[in-house]
Amino acid sequence: MTFEVRNPEVEKKLKHIGQTLKGVMPKGYGFVLLIASHGAEGSMFYSSSLERKGVIELLKEFIALQEKDGSPESSNV
């Protein structure tokens, strides 16, 4: 997977989605949203209401749990 530096169309939509999510999250909760295009030449973008360091730790923990037994609760749309 490659990482596009800029894609104005995706960035605009991601900002809109992020603002919507932030507005509906219960107090004390944040969000991390990953968006990726399909295929070997795909790209990935993310938006978050959390600090970068916290997101990195959160993702590490999520990956470790998924590799272990896949047990964390999730919501796949």
pLDDT in tens, 47-57: 999 999 999 99
What domain count does the chain have? Answer: 1
pTM equals: 0.68
The verdict on residue 17 lying in a domain is yes
pLDDT < 50 stretches in the chain: none
Amino acid at 38: H
Determine the structural domain holding residue 31 and report its residue range.
8-68
3 in any annotated domain: no
| Domain-embedded: residue 53 | yes
pLDDT of residue 2: 55
Residue 74 lies in a domain: no
Query: Does 1 reside within a domain?
Result: no
Query: How crowded is residue 47: how many other Cβ atoms within 10 Å of its Cβ?
Result: 19
Return phi, psi of residue 51, to 5°: -70, 150
Return the pLDDT at 66: 87
